[in-house]
Structure 1
Amino acid sequence: MPASSLANRLFLSATAWLVVILAITGVVLSSVYKNATERAFDRRLNLYLRTLIAEVATPDEPPDRQFQSLGEPLFELPLSGWYWQITRTDTEKPEVRSSRSLWDKKLPKLEEHGAELTAAGIRLGYVDGPEGQNLRMVERPVDLGADGKYLVSVAGDDSEIFDETRSFDYYLGGTFTALGIVLLLTTVFQVRFGLAPLKRISESIADIRSGRAERLEGEFPVEIAPLARETNALIDANREIVERARTHVGNLAHAIKTPLSVIVNEAGVHAADPFAAKVMEQADVMRDQVAHHLERARIAARVSVVATVTEVAPAIEALRRTMEKIHRDRGIMVEAKADPSAKFRGERQDLEEMVGNLVDNACKWAASRVFIEVLVEVPHKAGAGPRLRIIVDDDGRGLSEAERTQVSRRGQRLDESKPGSGLGLSIVVDLAALYGGSLSLGAAPIGGLRAELVLPGI
């Protein structure tokens, strides 16, 4: 995964978790504060309730001065939202005394609203008050024996609870917003600079794959240094494997070529003998086959390691001049048009072998002209590299569909009078496949065969 993509994923993940955590924390704190505010409000109501019960139980003051010890002016202000009410419940017609603030209204009973008595013998709840007010109310039944039974109620406007909670929520929201911004900036800083070494490693590996570098260079943090060290060790190990493979291929080539040379020389002494001629013919085929498979093994070992980069235009121009000289006696004109920006992700000798086989084959069959064109195709998928399209056209007789299929097979030749072993196109197909490319044959606009080679570019 690219470092930038990983950084984006980490940032989005951290942001999502941060928002969720802050939201949950905000809800919990708001709920806790609301409960605390409500409990404080209830303590205030209970204080007034106990004072009223004491006044009812021990009426030391004259009736006109009773209930003045509450000390709350809001009980005297009409419809202020703060009310008390004492109802005698043991008479046929309940006697009701209430605060002046109630005016001529009455408080509802919490019992009628489904509120249950608590362990302390009181009821708590919310009710609708006069003028559409929302009230927080507490009531307690009191039994004074011979002095009667009473229901004492105290209510207060719950807007105080709402206003306190809303004010706290505003401050809490502002604080958490500022905290969230700070944490997000901190996360951005940590993700951006914390993953910078990984991004540098990613870019360095891309440079190695493209041939611009050979190893991961530079200092890395302690956490990343083992990754860079092991990557360099892997690159070195791959290079050693390739070198050993090349050595083994060379040794095998020498070991096989020597016995083949002896067989050919011995058969050449008896060239007039049909058996010797057959041995020489088959020895030549063996030599070509051995060369072909050794070359495949060499290329397979080479492309398995980090690739190098080859400038295509100079290689094509060199091939053009060489082929024009080789086929000068037939008057073959070789033209080339290559994109200067074209680069092959591989070694030059492999490119020359593939294109050289195609151009040589075109020159053998051309009447007078061979045209080479190199195009660079921009990738359509994200993350994919560019592709090279190398087109070789000739003005020869061309090939039918059946003939195109036949010549792509190893050792197949359409005309035994032409020089060659019949392995040229099959070698190109095999080498192109090893590099992840392909070869296709078709009709050329100039009248003959078109060979279209697709290879990885950069």
Structure 2
Amino acid sequence: MPSPAVPAPPRRRTTSLATRLFLSATAWVVVILAITGIVLSSVYRQASERAFDRRLNLYLRTIIAEVATPDAAPEQFQSIGEPLFDLPLSGWYWQIVRTDTDKVEPRASRSLWDRKLPRLADQGVELGASGVRQGYVEGPEGQTLRMVERPVDLGADGKFVVTVAGDATEIFEETRTFDYYLAGTFIALSIGLVLTTIFQVRFGLAPLNRISHSIADIRSGRAERLEGQFPVEIAPLARETNALIEANREIVERARTHVGNLAHAIKTPLSVLVNEAAARPGDPLAAKVMEQAEIMRNQVAHHLERARIAARLTVVGTVTEVEPVIEALRRTMEKIHRDRAIQLRTEIAGGLKFRGERQDLEEMVGNLVDNACKWAVGRVLIAATAERGPTPLLRIIVDDDGRGLSAAEQAQVARRGQRLDESKPGSGLGLAIVVDLAALYGGELILGHAPAGGLRAELLLPAA
């Protein structure tokens, strides 16, 4: 038997456009803010170093001026306007070293006590454009010092290297404080930008979401076209979609017209053949013509019906309420089989909808119920339920309390034109038509055994 429905392809995990835009925008915001933060932190650190260096150079020039005054008193070196130079191991130091002789002891600030400062020249630091070396060194107490150093040539009075150093913790603390404030500001800015991006993505893509929901409504039969106002960028898409739906309807309508014309064109020659053959009742050739003409008539009716249904299936958004169709069939069958007192009972779940044409549902269920009434002893049950899932299914069950069918008989009656009992009225096309119709909708007909002992016909169709 054919499968109940075409299996849905495995779903790939896809990310929505809104999510991709949000993630992309968020990533760019984070990257840009991170780069900006690094650059600003570096610029602020350099600015702090330059300010610190200007302060050190001021002390350096003051000390060089004292060195260049030969008659300066020693205590003048200890008074250059900064009390930290007098505080032992304060991290602020100056030092004067004579380089043209080893006989003169270096002079230094009281804060150095008996320690000595390292020389930047010994560490490979080159002189700058202003004739000053500057850099970081390790101080007497393990502090990191920012140091400026300048060689001074006083001619006959000697050559000196004058050094001034300050505790670099001041630079680091200022930079760290700036980084904290910068990080807090950027975090707040990031949150604001992310919220703004969410707002823009959500409201900017709202028209696309509305189109998606409208197309789903059209497919499910709740609407016939895209309605409403759309932004200028989206309006052409809505117009083309509506035009496509209208063109599809026109094509289907033309196909229906052609099918009807073809049916009338073929029926007339067949009727002529049948009439001519009927005029010669004793002629074997006429009997053969009658037999084959009837077969042709059944074949034409069958395939034209398939073509008509296939054309209808291309219409978007056709949905049929199930309960009114089954109730109408129940009343009709009760009247047709009134003389046999067949009891028809229905069990229909509320809100069931068939994704297809009403006349197709009537034809399929009508054939099954009519067949059940023909073979039932006294009771027929019609039940309808829905199965939710990736592909919603409508399940219609028709049970009778007749003699039932064996597996071989079930396979036989599903073939076109096959009848088990010639005493029962019909052409033998009923179940075959149901099988073909169900297959065109992606469903199937399953024959089995009913709990009451008769035949169970289970029809699976797409649900809306």
2:63 to 39, 52, 55: 52
- The offset of 1:197, in angstroms, is 1.9
| Residue-by-residue CA offset, 1:29-83 (whole Å, 9 max, x unaligned) | 2222222222332333334334434433444522221364x43332223332221
Shift of the 338–83 alpha-carbon distance from structure 1 to 2, 3 Å rule, reads: same
Structure 2 residue 452 is the aligned partner of structure 1 residue 457: no
Shift of the 142–317 alpha-carbon distance from structure 1 to 2, 3 Å rule, reads: same
Which residue matches 2:96? 86
Shift of the 435–38 alpha-carbon distance from structure 1 to 2, 3 Å rule, reads: farther
1:289 to 299, 304, 317: 299
Which structure 2 residues correspond to residues 18-417 of structure 1 after superposition, within 5 A?
A: 18-59=29-70, 61-66=72-77, 68=79, 70-92=80-102, 95-110=105-120, 114-120=123-129, 122-142=132-152, 144=154, 147-379=157-389, 381=390, 384=391, 386-417=392-423
Shift of the 91–414 alpha-carbon distance from structure 1 to 2, 3 Å rule, reads: farther
Q: What is the identity, as a one-letter code, of the residue corresponding to 1:348?
A: R
Shift of the 65–238 alpha-carbon distance from structure 1 to 2, 3 Å rule, reads: same
| Residue-by-residue CA offset, 1:292-322 (whole Å, 9 max, x unaligned) | 2212222222221212221101101111222
> Which stretch of the first structure deviates more once superposed, 252-261 or 352-361?
352-361
SS at match of 2:35: helix
Q: What is the identity, as a one-letter code, of the residue corresponding to 1:7?
A: A
What's the Cα RMSD here? 2.7
C-alpha contact 2:321 2:353 (8 A) present in aligned 1: yes
C-alpha contact 2:63 2:77 (8 A) present in aligned 1: no
Q: How many residues align?
A: 450
Shift of the 128–412 alpha-carbon distance from structure 1 to 2, 3 Å rule, reads: farther
Which residue matches 1:443? 449
- The offset of 1:22, in angstroms, is 1.8
- The offset of 1:147, in angstroms, is 4.1
Q: Distance in 2 between matches of 1:433 and 1:32?
A: 74
Q: What is the identity, as a one-letter code, of the residue corresponding to 1:193?
A: F
> Which stretch of the first structure deviates more once superposed, 321-330 or 215-224?
321-330
- The offset of 1:249, in angstroms, is 0.8
Q: What is the identity, as a one-letter code, of the residue corresponding to 2:89?
A: L
Shift of the 60–415 alpha-carbon distance from structure 1 to 2, 3 Å rule, reads: farther
Q: What is the identity, as a one-letter code, of the residue corresponding to 2:46?
A: N
Q: What is the identity, as a one-letter code, of the residue corresponding to 1:13?
A: S
- The offset of 1:278, in angstroms, is 2.9
C-alpha contact 2:443 2:460 (8 A) present in aligned 1: yes
Q: What is the identity, as a one-letter code, of the residue corresponding to 2:31?
A: V
C-alpha contact 2:223 2:317 (8 A) present in aligned 1: no
TM-score by length of 2: 0.88
- The offset of 1:414, in angstroms, is 4.0
C-alpha contact 2:404 2:455 (8 A) present in aligned 1: yes
Which residue matches 2:6? none
TM-score by length of 1: 0.89
Which residue matches 1:11? 22
Which residue matches 2:4? none
- The offset of 1:89, in angstroms, is 4.0
Shift of the 66–203 alpha-carbon distance from structure 1 to 2, 3 Å rule, reads: same
| Residue-by-residue CA offset, 1:309-359 (whole Å, 9 max, x unaligned) | 211011011112222333334443322111121111222111111212222
Q: What is the identity, as a one-letter code, of the residue corresponding to 2:191?
A: I
SS at match of 1:130: coil
Shift of the 172–266 alpha-carbon distance from structure 1 to 2, 3 Å rule, reads: same
SS at match of 1:270: coil
SS at match of 1:71: coil
- The offset of 1:143, in angstroms, is 5.1
Q: What is the identity, as a one-letter code, of the residue corresponding to 1:230?
A: E
C-alpha contact 2:342 2:377 (8 A) present in aligned 1: yes
- The offset of 1:115, in angstroms, is 4.2
Q: What is the identity, as a one-letter code, of the residue corresponding to 2:272?
A: V
SS at match of 1:65: helix
C-alpha contact 2:442 2:461 (8 A) present in aligned 1: yes
2:428 to 422, 433, 436: 422
SS at match of 1:264: helix
Structure 1: which 5+ residue stretches go unaligned?
none
Structure 2: which 5+ residue stretches go unaligned?
1-11
SS at match of 1:95: coil
- The offset of 1:252, in angstroms, is 0.7
C-alpha contact 1:141 1:152 (8 A) present in aligned 2: yes
- The offset of 1:101, in angstroms, is 2.1
Shift of the 32–335 alpha-carbon distance from structure 1 to 2, 3 Å rule, reads: same
Q: Distance in 2 between matches of 1:238 and 1:224?
A: 22
Shift of the 361–65 alpha-carbon distance from structure 1 to 2, 3 Å rule, reads: same
Relative contact order, higher structure (CA 8 A, sep 6+): 2
Shift of the 95–301 alpha-carbon distance from structure 1 to 2, 3 Å rule, reads: farther
- The offset of 1:155, in angstroms, is 1.6
> Which stretch of the first structure deviates more once superposed, 420-429 or 197-206?
420-429
| Residue-by-residue CA offset, 1:156-202 (whole Å, 9 max, x unaligned) | 11122122212222332232233223323322332222222222222
Q: Distance in 1 between matches of 2:310 and 2:273?
A: 30
| Residue-by-residue CA offset, 1:366-407 (whole Å, 9 max, x unaligned) | 33332211001122x4xx5x3211112223333343443443
Among the aligned pairs, what percent are the same residue? 77
C-alpha contact 1:85 1:107 (8 A) present in aligned 2: yes
- The offset of 1:289, in angstroms, is 1.8
Shift of the 317–106 alpha-carbon distance from structure 1 to 2, 3 Å rule, reads: same
C-alpha contact 2:382 2:396 (8 A) present in aligned 1: yes
Q: Distance in 2 between matches of 1:278 and 1:59?
A: 145
C-alpha contact 1:407 1:425 (8 A) present in aligned 2: yes
